[in-house]
Amino acid sequence: MGKDRIELIIKSLAERNIEGFFFESFEEAKLKVMEIIPINDSVGIGNSITLKNMKISNELNDRGNVVYDKTLAKSKEDSKELKRKSLLTDWYITGTNAITLDGHLVNIDHSGNRVAAMLYGPNNVIVIIGINKITSTLDEAIYRVRNIASPKNARRAGFKPPCVELEKCIDCKSTQRVCNSLVVIEGQNDKGRMKVFIVNEKDGF
């Protein structure tokens, strides 16, 4: 990925009141996360392969932060409670399904907790994204989240909507549908609330 494209995204984000940062590796990005989040602050975690692979949840928990991570839930009720508690944390850490050169963040969500926390609730939001999720345009980003991210996420979560077999979205009305909210974040009201960490590696869908 050319540095000029990353610089363009960071500039576009700044125009949208979102802070952009560039890291060479997920490890470097994790060190920054651990540095800027105070140890007494609470943290909600959005479900993301990238974050799982980074082991952010475990490391924050081990050093004493209160962490709400629904992927560690022991039951459906527990999961629901963790998702609700994540909405009022000091920090929320999540991935995103796509980002455009113009600074749009595009996400599709199943129950909506992840996009809800990105939009409002947590005082601070950190979005961590690998370069494989960068798209040139908003149309491309929406195509990506519908036809690449969603079928793979559905398969990973054990759901069986038509796209799992077809490997493309047909805007199904299946009870197994995993795409109930398509959200485009175009800016932030509170300056400094949202930080986007762009990492020069590939991970996640």
**Residues in the site for ligand SF4, rule: CB under 6 A?**
146, 150-151, 154, 161-163, 169-172, 174, 177-179
- Shortest Cβ distance from residue 134 to ligand SF4 (Å)? 21
* Residue among 8 and 172 whose Cβ is closer to ligand SF4: 172
CB of 168 to ligand SF4, least distance (A): 8
CA distance 15 to 184: 16
Nearer to ligand SF4, 78 or 167 (CB): 167
Of 18 and 142, nearer to ligand SF4 (C-beta) is 142
**Computed from CA positions of residues 68, 69, 74, 79, in that sequence, does the dihedral angle turn out positive or negative?**
positive
CB of 141 to ligand SF4, least distance (A): 14
Closer by beta carbon to ligand SF4, 117 or else 163: 163
Closest approach of Cβ 14 to ligand SF4, in Å? 32
- What Rg do the C-alpha atoms of the chain give, in angstroms? 16
Which amino acid belongs to residue 33? V
Nearer to ligand SF4, 24 or 165 (CB): 165
Least distance in angstroms from the C-beta of 139 to ligand SF4: 16
3-state secondary structure of 154: helix
Per DSSP, the three-state class of 55 is coil
Within 13 Å of residue 63, how many CA atoms lie on the same side as its CB? 15
The torsion region of residue 38 among left (phi > 0), alpha (psi -120 to 50) and beta comes to beta
